[in-house]
Structure 1
Amino acid sequence: MAPLTSVILSSVFVYLTHAHKHGVQVIGELKKGLNPITIKELSFGSEYLFTAIKTGTVTGVIALAEGIAVGRSFAMLKNYNIDGNKEMIAFGMMNIAGSCTSCYVTTGPFSRSAVNLNAGCKTAMSNIVMAITVMITLLFLIPLFYYTPIVVLSSIIVSAMLGLINYKEAIHLWSLDKFDFVVCMSAFLGVVFWSVEIGLVIAVALSLLRVLLFVARPKTYALGHIPNSSIYRSIDQYQNAKNIPGILILQMDAPIYFANAAYLRERILRWVDEEEDKLKSLGGNSLQYVILSLSAVGNIDTSGITMLGEVKKLMERRGLKLILANPGGEVIKKMNKAKLIDVVAEEWIYLTVGEAIGACNFMLR
């Protein structure tokens, strides 16, 4: 009731004091009635058809993205699920129907959704009630809004939006993942200082950048043996993981594509150099085997296949043996088609790191 009361009281106050004549901006005169049916005016032979298609495509994509993003935000807030496909169908049907009466492209705007939420609406029935109310207003009540101050409408939207700001979640993002916090704040500032579309574009762009960074710069780990087990884990993560003398075990934590193939090759060679220098300084056994654990490599492309072949040749020049462990079905299929299995030699491809270690230890004896 508070927003409605604010609108009524402010309109009466402006009317009685003539505040609109002293700098207070009001809604002013609005056209009364419903839009006429304009489907008969649709023309596919217009010279502006291409411009309309281009603009409509961009506008439609932005509207869909904004609507689904807003819907998911409220779904997370109230702990319910939404179906993105159904949302798209609803937006599409709504805009097709609206275009027959010269309506603007519409979506699920954040501000009005926030007002709807704060009013206590819980089901889609609220949209029907709202549509009927708007229709009655357009037909009969439009003149009553002439003196409504714009600042009051803005304050209603702002007050509804403030209730949606979850600063605790932002603090949680900061403590959990700094990049996620940057994405969150960038989207927030983009919406506050520009528009929902700009904020959404910034958030999507940063998220895509992060995905590209993950793909282009995947992590590689040196694995060690957990005592009294057959498990091999990252030496950096598990302090009790032990190196195997004469054997370097590496795990790549991403699919191998053209974007990261060169990087992974350099990382493997750097790991080998560091391990050889370490063994020389300790005066222990020299490095003889390099095992690549491919368990986290879900896919590989031509550049990745070529990279593995190059690594194989580089290892041979150093007098080292390259062993592949636990390649996935898709990876082994492409390796077979590319004849990489013949290059590596089938007897040096194992199902697990443990089996590869066992074979290496047997050869070392």
Structure 2
Amino acid sequence: MSSTPSMRLSQQEHFHLEDSGQIERSLWVLEPPNPPPLRNKLFTPLKKSISSFSSNNKPCHRRLLSFLETLFPILCWFKSYTASKFKNDLLAGLTLASLSIPQSIGYANLAKLDPQYGLYTSVVPPLIYAVMGSSREIAIGPVAVVSLLLSSLVPKVVDPAADPDAYRSVVFTVTLFAGIFQAAFGIFRLGFLVDFLSHAALVGFMAGAAIVIGLQQLKGLLGITHFTNKTDVISVLESVYKSLRQQITSTEKWYPLNFVIGCSFLIFLLIARFVGRRNKKLFWLPAIAPLVSVLLSTLIVYLSKADQNGVNIVRHVKGGLNPSSVHKLQFHGPNVGQTAKIGLISAVIALTEAIAVGRSFASIKGYHLDGNKEMLAMGCMNIAGSLSSCYVATGSFSRTAVNFSAGCQTSVSNIVMAVTVFLCLEFFTRLLYYTPMAILASIILSALPGLIDINEACYIWKVDKFDFLACIGAFFGVLFVSVETGLLVAVSISFAKILIQSIRPGIEVLGRVPRTEAFCDVSQYPMATSTPGILVIRISSGSLCFANANFIRERILKWVMEEENELAKGRVNAVILDMGNLMNVDTSGILVLEELHKRLFSRGVQLAMVNPRWLVIYKLKVANFVDKIGKKWVFLTVAEAVDACLSSKFPEP
């Protein structure tokens, strides 16, 4: 049956409307808004920080109040603070202090500082964080990893044994630099810099650091007087062997009573930790066990006069309010650059640990933790700490877990803890005179199992072998070389992973999934069918740049030749590039696209583009590449591009 003129006219109108719609959709792609200028990219983070503190739509006093509430979150939640919340925070703060006091003394010893400096660090930084931090559970103070970091890096600048005053000055200056870097990260929204130390690298680094810290405690646990300043496992074990051999064979005696006291209380601490984990209602037992150990061991040494029989004791602990350390900061001399570098490393490690801990417990409580605000709070507290005889403080996982289990409601628990530590400094430091050094070693050793997460390492191995390589690289780097080498290895492997993914991006051949308009990777979806004479390729990379452009060109040309070598399919008439995943292109990428177009055109193959992002199409238009391939060969969807290629007549090459 022949069609009537009216039917033919309606079909023509239909095709005309369809062509008009396709042209209109192509214009959507070809006429995007202009990308923002370079100055906007550079200053947008700062503008966002400023705009988060103010709004032009509000009166002046409301803008000031909004700024203060953003800077000091305590002003927001303190309005609804109740007596019942304070009761919970008071109990949590006192429980936290019972764990913090002995740990702070031990970590100060690990950082090669006098005991009072660990207590100082548990007073000022927690108070600053309580008014500026957004986490309700995180407990602030000295931690093992940062203490080890300082004890391994700062002695390369100043020897703590030869000049302890200069050593302390460098530590305070490192703390100031760490605070400045942390605050800058928060103000300029540079939190992504912390992410260069990936989760897998952090797991390996923490595990290696835990073993190194444990080996460092053999000095106090065994009562060794001569010990190496190096942190690698071989040097530490060699030092232990030589010291024990020298003390046993020479006239200088070795006193095993240090080992007996240390191991006895270490067993007690580990049992308390085990019981507390098995029974959540007894969370307070592992929290107060370190303080009980300190009190009991001090009493035993005092009554038995064990210090006269070779037991090493803490001796004098300076009490009172944190003294000013402003005059000790050093900004001149040849070591300022090295001090700043140590400050940067300490800042990144401290932030990584604190944000990881804070976000873990925030997710349990069901609220969001702003990483940039946390960085600003951490930076301000360390800047204030550097001026008041504190060293780098951050969030502690073990103490935060105790704070959470004790039922803390807000950061007031940090204030209670800081006040309690201050009272200890003011009135009870004399009681610490006979505290054995072996107990401090035992307290640190009992906290180390929480840093070694074997289950997480196994999980990383199952999920991503490359991530596991970063994990194990950081672990062995810390363990057998040094802390900074472990960090360098971890960051290098993470960078290598990013580079490999950039240089060798995913390039996929697409086919149409039956009974749909979707085009998917034929290797993932075997049922997807390719269109004869048309090669559809998706570039699965965020950027077409100097690093990967040549690889992409060669891969596309190789596929074209392979496709043409299969005689059953005939020659390739068109290559369609799905650029929906491509976020950016540089000059090298544009040159490669031009060369690809020339090579394909010489073979009689038409190049088409689908859905390039606005920045990509803007650059391609400026470079006149769109004019070279023709505006009609730019499409919104792959289906439209395939249909256009099928309806076109291509000349023979």
2:608 aligned to which of 319, 323, 342: 323
CA–CA separation in structure 2 for the residues paired with 1:38 and 1:266: 62
CA–CA separation in structure 2 for the residues paired with 1:259 and 1:16: 72
2:413 aligned to which of 117, 122, 126: 126
For residues 67-115 of structure 1, the C-alpha deviation after alignment (integer angstroms, 9 at most, x for no partner) is 22112322343243432222222223223323333x24423164xx423
What residue in structure 2 maps to residue 145 of structure 1? Answer: 432
Residues 118-127 or 92-101, more deviating: 118-127
State the shift of 1:302 in Å: 1.1
The answer as to 2:383 corresponding to 1:96 is: yes
CA–CA separation in structure 2 for the residues paired with 1:42 and 1:82: 35
The answer as to 2:583 corresponding to 1:307 is: no
CA–CA separation in structure 2 for the residues paired with 1:198 and 1:146: 38
User: % of aligned pairs identical?
Assistant: 39
2:398 aligned to which of 109, 114, 121: 114
What residue in structure 1 maps to residue 357 of structure 2? Answer: 74
Q: Tell me the secondary structure at the aligned position of residue 357 of structure 1.
A: helix
Number of aligned residue pairs: 355
Aligned amino acid, residue 106 of structure 1: V
Residues 244-253 or 262-271, more deviating: 262-271
What residue in structure 2 maps to residue 346 of structure 1? Answer: 631
CA–CA separation in structure 2 for the residues paired with 1:43 and 1:146: 29
2:318 aligned to which of 31, 50, 57: 31
What residue in structure 1 maps to residue 39 of structure 2? Answer: none
What residue in structure 1 maps to residue 341 of structure 2? Answer: 58
State the shift of 1:196 in Å: 7.0
What residue in structure 2 maps to residue 257 of structure 1? Answer: 545
State the shift of 1:334 in Å: 0.7
Whether the aligned pair in 2 keeps the contact of 1:114 and 1:157 (CA below 8 Å) is no
* Aligned pairs for 1:11-30 within 5 A: 11-20=298-307, 24-30=311-317
Whether the aligned pair in 1 keeps the contact of 2:538 and 2:577 (CA below 8 Å) is yes
CA–CA separation in structure 2 for the residues paired with 1:142 and 1:357: 81
State the shift of 1:23 in Å: 5.4
CA–CA separation in structure 2 for the residues paired with 1:65 and 1:11: 37
State the shift of 1:156 in Å: 2.6
What residue in structure 2 maps to residue 276 of structure 1? Answer: 564
State the shift of 1:176 in Å: 1.8
Residues 212-221 or 173-182, more deviating: 173-182
CA–CA separation in structure 2 for the residues paired with 1:308 and 1:210: 26
2:573 aligned to which of 284, 288, 293: 288
The answer as to 2:620 corresponding to 1:335 is: yes
State the shift of 1:306 in Å: 1.0
What residue in structure 1 maps to residue 521 of structure 2? Answer: 234
Residues 327-336 or 58-67, more deviating: 58-67
CA–CA separation in structure 1 for the residues paired with 2:476 and 2:342: 22
Go from structure 1 to structure 2 and tell me whether the alpha carbon gap of 1:20 and 1:181 turns closer, same or farther (over 3 Å shift).
farther
- Higher RCO, 1 vs 2 (CA within 8 Å, ≥6 residues apart): 2
For residues 329-349 of structure 1, the C-alpha deviation after alignment (integer angstroms, 9 at most, x for no partner) is 111111000100111111222
Larger relative helix fraction: 2
1:173 aligned to which of 460, 474, 483: 460
Q: Tell me the secondary structure at the aligned position of residue 363 of structure 1.
A: coil
CA RMSD of aligned residues (A): 2.9
State the shift of 1:51 in Å: 4.4
CA–CA separation in structure 1 for the residues paired with 2:600 and 2:444: 65
With the length of structure 1 as denominator, give the TM-score of the two structures: 0.85
Go from structure 1 to structure 2 and tell me whether the alpha carbon gap of 1:269 and 1:17 turns closer, same or farther (over 3 Å shift).
farther
* Structure 1: stretches of 5+ with no match in the other structure: none
Q: Tell me the secondary structure at the aligned position of residue 584 of structure 2.
A: coil
State the shift of 1:328 in Å: 1.4
For residues 205-261 of structure 1, the C-alpha deviation after alignment (integer angstroms, 9 at most, x for no partner) is 332322222222211001111112111100110010112111111111112112211
Q: Tell me the secondary structure at the aligned position of residue 138 of structure 1.
A: helix
Whether the aligned pair in 2 keeps the contact of 1:115 and 1:157 (CA below 8 Å) is no
CA–CA separation in structure 1 for the residues paired with 2:317 and 2:527: 75
What residue in structure 1 maps to residue 495 of structure 2? Answer: 208
Whether the aligned pair in 2 keeps the contact of 1:218 and 1:260 (CA below 8 Å) is yes
Residues 242-251 or 165-174, more deviating: 165-174
CA–CA separation in structure 1 for the residues paired with 2:602 and 2:470: 46
Q: Tell me the secondary structure at the aligned position of residue 394 of structure 2.
A: coil
Aligned amino acid, residue 615 of structure 2: E
